Amino acid sequence: MGGKTKQAPRTKNNAKPSSSSRSAELLGSTTPVFVGFSAQADGNLVPFAPGFASAEQMPETFDVNISPQTQIILRKLSKKDPMTKKKALQELHELITESDLETLKNILPLWPKFYHNLATDIEHAVREQTQLVLQLLMSKCKRAMAPYLKQLVPVWLASRFDNYAPAASIASNSFRETFARTCEVCLHCQSEIIEYTTRNLTFHTPATLSIGKNLKPEESEQKYQRVVISSLKELSFFMEHTAPAEDVEQLRQGLATLLAHQKFWTFAKHKQPAIKAAWFECIYHMLQCSKLLEVLTPQKSQLITTSFQFIDDADPLVTPHVWGCVLLLQSNYNDWYAPLNIRKALLPKLSTLLSNAFNRNAQAICPNLLPFLSKITPDSLQGLDIYEFYQRFFDNLKAAIVGPHDPSLSKSDTSIMHSSYFECLRFMLQQINNDAGRTALVEQFAFGLLEQQLLQPIGQLLLSENAHAKYFFQHTSALVAFWDRQCNNEINKSSCSLYVKLLNVFWTRIFEMVTQHLAAEDVNEQWLSHVLLLVQDLHVANPSLETQCVKFLEAEVEVTTSEKTSQPSTTSKKGDGYAAFIQKELKQLVVKLVRICLDKANSSNNSVRYIHQIRTLTKMFADAEFYKSLTDMAELEATLDKFVALLEQMNNEACEAVVEILFEILALLEPAQRFDYIAQKLLKLQQDRVQNLLLHRLLSYPLCTEPAVRQMLASPETCAIISRIAEEVVVDNNRDKLNLLHKCFFQTDTGDILINAETVDKIVLAMSAPLEQPPSNDMVEVCGSFIAQIMPVICSQANSSLAVRQQVFLRLYKFSLEQRVGDHLSEDTLWEITTCWQDALSSKDIEIDDVLLRSCAKIVEELANNAELNAGSLESMAEAMAKFVICSTENIEDEPQRLTRIDETIAALLSSELKTDESVLQFERHCVYLETLQESISAGVALDHADLDEHKILPLLRRVALNFTTICKLVCRVENPQLGPQTNEGEDELTEDYCDPNANVLKQWSESIITEILQSVKVASTAETWMEVNSQLTGSGEELVLCLSEQIRSFMANSSELVDIIKERMKQAAVQQDSVMSCRQLGYLIYYSQYAAFEESATILLHEDLAELFVSQGALKAYVMTLQHMLPKLSQKALNLNSAIMRTEPPDMWVKAAVFRCLLLNNFQSDLNEQTDRNIIASALQFLTRVGEQQNAQKELLHYNVELLTHPYESVLNTVEIIQLLNEILQRFPYELTIKNWDAIRIGLSSWVLTVSKSIIHYSDPKTSFFIVAVFQLFATLINFIRSEKQKSSTEMLKNVVDEWESLFAREVNVVLFKAYYQLTHDTTVQPESRVCYEALLERLMPALEVLDYSFVYGFCKAPNSKVSLDHLCNLLLKQLHSPQHSVRMNAVQALRQLTPHFVADDIMVNDKQNDNLEAASSTICKWHFLNRFEDFLTRYDALMRKYLEEFSFKLTDLEDLEPIDRHDAFSYLLIWDCIINVCAKSPVALRSVYTSWLNENRYEENFLHFLFRAMPLASIEG
């Protein structure tokens, strides 16, 4: 269709060039081609520098030694696309890396041509990758590159100055790595470098550099500018590194050619600052080399004019090089000014530059000002008066320094401008001073400089808000100090006569300025601070400045420039840096200022501002002469009185400064006079702040060591002050006051402290009070740390009373037990407090008597009852209690006495009303009862009752966990404790800081400790049972149980003889067969070392050992109870008919029944069974048959139709276990039952339900509860089996069994069971302590009630003579919809659903009759139908829901403020409506209309719909 002909696909490793004209663009021949400048340079051809081939000269074929792959890469380097070239360079880099030297030699002749083109590519990534390739080539080829250096070096050097930093950096690094001597390589390639740079600067244009590149104009211009900049910088680099060379003739010729070309001079005025800067840099290097100056001579005028033309250039790149050229021109040519018109070309630019703050380029220009100024001579000004120039120069510079700038100058610019200004000013005045023949006019000019350039700016800065005044004052001080030093050091005073006069004028004017403004009534705050700043700078004035000399070649004048930091350090009063005026004029000025400020402070309402200035001034001079001169009486006491009078008027932060001054003056008095003044004057002051400051001074060294001060501190007045401070610290947490309290406890060499015991008591009681409060701020940490630090002091040498020490100890002890690390309490502080009281016990500073021990035990009891205690808190408390036991007894040397005291201490700390033998027994019975109900485990020990208040359980567990953890801390060894640091040889080395954690472990254990451990193990086992049967256990409760259990397991795993004792005691307790938990707790023995090593097999081994033990001792009940608890952990088939228990004949029937049930559970859990398992079934059925035969002989053996309360526990337990065994068999293999077995089940169940009916009233009796649950479970299993059998074909026998059940037994059993349930739940009052057991009983009955046939119940309740009517039935079920027990509510819903069809059927009949009676049909609200039974309950629910509906208005803005709905009430409300809707759904249309009319007329439906919207999630309503 006219399309292009497809080309044949390219093949891999195709070495032939493509048809594109770019295919050979940058390829060269196999040998270097050297082409000189063409004679046709001005013709059509484009000449190239030697050694650099043009793109048009690339060969079309390569050397045969170059591999095809390499040829492809080289061709890619000629492509236009930057990405293609970049990838080709990366491939080339990889190729070079993998190739050897011989292979690389083949491509070396071609590389310079590629490098020349790629190093100047427009794409920066290509240039960077090119430099990487060159770097790699040079590192691998080394000497093999020598023949090509002259082709590479010019471009290589230019690449060092690439404007893309990564490319320039790589080029610089590779050049430096390759050539150790830069000068030599530059000289070796100098002709190529000069020709390359000259060609770039004089011939090339953006167009010539872009031939064949197809670049955009802006890209061509960018490339050209980059080449120009790099060429200029390359030339500068060349001149800099070849300056030491002797022969520079070739360079002269090249530069002469370059300078003669007019295009070169155009770069000086280029619009790009980078090109302009590079040009001036190049000129700068030419001017620096004396051998090249003659080359510049022909263009000297043009060069001078060009350089001075840009003296005010603002670009930071250009300025340094311009000024460098200007200074070199001044230095190299005495007639540098000849080509210039100074008045028009230089002075206006210079004035503008100075006035404009150097165009914000001060860093580059200011260092050049002094050398520039030194070259200004009368001749150079071309008739302009030199002093007029100087005046103009300093005026302009002063305007830049003092004047405002928007935006403000930077600190660095401001600093260097000030330095330059004062350097020039010092230079000028020094020149005038050194001129012995100066005239009066010249001297007058010097005074004018002082007044206009120094004093006037000072006056302006004192009154202004200029933030840079400090720089001016610092340099002024240094200048004045310089004059002062010159005057004092010169032997010939006439040589510094000008300085003497200048100093006199300076001090006279300073005194006038300061005193004149300070005498005003209202002193400006800014002015006052600036005066102070000036005085401070004068006080630390240092005339010895760090200097740096700048020398100009072939110049006879040396000019010194000064560099001064912005923050001079304070000079010593001795040595070279000392200025004599400090002790003369400055001291007089300071005295004058202090006296004026004192008067101002006394008369002003705002004395603080003056006090701070006074304190700053007095720090400068602290000698007696200075302080005496502050008053007219010239006495120190008069000065003290003046400051005390001032102090009496204040109570603010300024007091501290006044007190500092007072004590500086007091130090100048004699000791007796000093202490008398303090006692009689200072301590009588009443201001709190002043008292604090005075006390701080008295408690500080060295005053605190004086006997007179100690006597002052013991006075009642001082004690009252200290007590007040302690009380204030607790409130405001003031650090200064706290430090003051610390100082009170400074100990002398004798161990005494500075205050008496009464004061100590007040301090420690006040500071320890916050420890009794919860940590709500940092005050607790501060006070705790304070008490911990001073505790050793207050306990030694009777520094405090015994009662207070004990009270503080109890506070610390309670704090350690109660508090934990948090936001307001750090770990370090808590450790400080804990170790504090422990150290006090260990050192006998605190001795525990019986009274104190009872107080400690009371603290433990209070904290153990805290509901917020978690596992971590208990661990910390136990640690502290164990430390208390050890520390309080470790100093008793007699070992029996020590052990006795340990037992007494442990007994006191661990005794508790929360944990008694009775409470532990109640907890055990309660949990055994719940477990027996829920898990169908045999309670082989008689239970009288099982009621327990649930709120007592967690306190009991917390106390047991705390006690057991404490004992573990005392008796358990730490396995493999971490030793101290190791030596270099790897051997363990015990250092002095190492503490063996097992050092204090008890080696002997009293019977009380063993009893406590055994009780804890039993409670832990009971708690695990409680956790398993309690579905509503909170997270904290579960954590507590798991923590206690883990502690028991850890204890049993400990390698200690005590664990062996505990193990034997546990076995002995189980053999006694008097406690279910004594058997259950044996499960902990799997963590004992004997069994723990076997890991997963530990339970099996333990079971075998216990079976042998119990069977051998006849403790068969103990074995059964242990087996039932271990059964879930035993592997399948672990029990069989050959087990030890099967070879015995237990006297109790329940034991054998329980064993058979365990056999079934252990062998029939999996889906596959073995043939031998039938033997177990046969044995179980044989056992049941034998029991049935015994029942025939003993009528009450299985408790048919009896009241259980009068029967023994053991006999009832026998029946319960038989029922549970029947239930297990019926669940697992019902088809193995014979007709005899079925008869036993049917007859037994029908008889047992009668027993349930007679005994249900005594449901709280444990044995009765177990029996009721077992019967209900058997009923549920039987009904489920019958229903499943009716759904499938069955044997004839089973059909007969089912038919007989339904015809003879079903109705009676269903009705009797419902009546029992009704009796159990109707109007039953349950005590709070019985609530848990009652709900557990109901929970176990629910599965049976779910399969109950309510058709029998309906018929029974409808009978006229029935005691439970339909009203009773409905009221019960509707009432249960609001039951707190979820399963009861759901059972009520299910029952109502089953009864609904029966009630609806009755309503249909009534409705039909009502339709025949028109008068009745017209009734407004019908009262005869089923829903009417819901009326009372709907009314109650509407009342409950009304509070939620009244505040609900469907406004989105009000939704977030609605009260949350009670979930229990709402769910019950929804359930009753679910039942109502179900009634309507099951009814026909006519009856449904009656129902809905009734709901609508009573507005029940409206309320319900309103509530549905109210109960919706907020997001749903908004949507």
3-state secondary structure 970-997: HHCCCCCCCCCCECCCCCECCCCCCCCC
Angstrom distance (rounded) from CA 455 to CA 470: 15
Angstrom distance (rounded) from CA 505 to CA 601: 31
Query: How big is the CA angle at 1151 (ends 1149 and 1153), to the nearest 5 degrees?
Result: 70
Nearest to 281 by CA among 316, 235, 249: 235
Strands (E), 1158-1222: none
Exposure b/e, 506-528, CB count within 10 A at least 16 = b? bbebbeebbeebbeeeebeeebb
Angstrom distance (rounded) from CA 1184 to CA 1244: 12
Angstrom distance (rounded) from CA 399 to CA 1188: 125
**First-to-last C-alpha distance (Å) of the chain:** 61
Neighbours of 5 (CB within 10 A): 4
CA distances from 928 to 666, 1333, 1339 (A): 84, 11, 16
Angstrom distance (rounded) from CA 1427 to CA 1392: 12
* Structure tokens given for 888: 């309080």
For residues 365 and 419, is the Cβ–Cβ distance under 8 A? Answer: no
For residues 885 and 899, is the Cβ–Cβ distance under 8 A? Answer: no
How high is the pLDDT of residue 1202?
92
User: Three-class SS of residue 1241?
Assistant: helix
The contacts of residue 159 (CB under 8 Å, 6+ apart) are: 119, 127, 131, 167, 168, 171, 230
For residues 340 and 305, is the Cβ–Cβ distance under 8 A? Answer: yes
For residues 753 and 747, is the Cβ–Cβ distance under 8 A? Answer: yes
Neighbours of 719 (CB within 10 A): 18
Q: Which residue has the tokens 């966990």?
A: 961
How high is the pLDDT of residue 44?
35
751 by Cβ neighbours in 10 Å (0-12 / 13-18 / 19+) ranks as exposed
DSSP secondary structure of 507-540? HHHHHHHHHHHHTSSS--HHHHHHHHHHHHHHHT
1222 by Cβ neighbours in 10 Å (0-12 / 13-18 / 19+) ranks as buried
Q: Which residue has the tokens 């509901």?
A: 867
The contacts of residue 164 (CB under 8 Å, 6+ apart) are: 124, 127, 128
For residues 192 and 234, is the Cβ–Cβ distance under 8 A? Answer: no
Angstrom distance (rounded) from CA 961 to CA 1343: 37
Give the torsion sign (CA, 625, 627, 632, 637).
negative
How high is the pLDDT of residue 48?
38
**SS3 sequence, 1462-1481?**
CHHHHHHHHHHHHHHHHHHH
DSSP secondary structure of 854-875? HHHHHHHHHHHT-TT--HHHHH
Angstrom distance (rounded) from CA 256 to CA 172: 29
The contacts of residue 1476 (CB under 8 Å, 6+ apart) are: 1427, 1430, 1491, 1495
How high is the pLDDT of residue 436?
82
Neighbours of 1268 (CB within 10 A): 30
The contacts of residue 1335 (CB under 8 Å, 6+ apart) are: 1381
Task: Evaluate the omega torsion of the peptide bond into residue 407 and state whether it is cis, within 30 degrees of 0.
Answer: yes
Angstrom distance (rounded) from CA 125 to CA 123: 6
How high is the pLDDT of residue 1066?
93
Nearest to 156 by CA among 201, 205, 118: 118
Nearest to 1204 by CA among 1267, 1162, 1151: 1267
CA distances from 1051 to 622, 878, 1016, 1082 (A): 72, 15, 11, 14
For residues 461 and 469, is the Cβ–Cβ distance under 8 A? Answer: yes
For residues 1142 and 1155, is the Cβ–Cβ distance under 8 A? Answer: yes
* Structure tokens given for 1277: 């299993």
Q: Which residues of the chain have pLDDT under 50?
A: 1-59, 546-577, 978-994, 1416-1421
DSSP secondary structure of 672-710? HHHHHHHHHTGGG---HHHHHHHHHHHTSTTGGGSHHHH
How high is the pLDDT of residue 3?
42
Angstrom distance (rounded) from CA 337 to CA 345: 11
DSSP secondary structure of 313-358? ---TTTHHHHHHHHHHHHHH-TTTTTTS-IIIIIHHHHHHHHHTGG
* Structure tokens given for 26: 């940058």
Find the helix packing angle between 1149-1163 and 1173-1193, rounded to 10°: 160
Nearest to 21 by CA among 63, 79, 65: 79
pLDDT digits 0-9 by tens, 641-699: 888 888 888 767 788 888 889 899 888 889 888 888 888 888 888 888 888 888 888 88
Q: Which residue has the tokens 């067969």?
A: 1073
Angstrom distance (rounded) from CA 1364 to CA 1355: 11
- Per DSSP, helices labelled H in 556-702 are 585-603, 608-618, 624-628, 636-647, 654-666, 671-680, 688-698
| Radius of gyration from C-alpha coordinates of the chain | 54
How high is the pLDDT of residue 1148?
87
Phi, psi of 584 (to 5 degrees): -115, -95
Q: What is the greatest pairwise CA distance in the chain?
A: 155
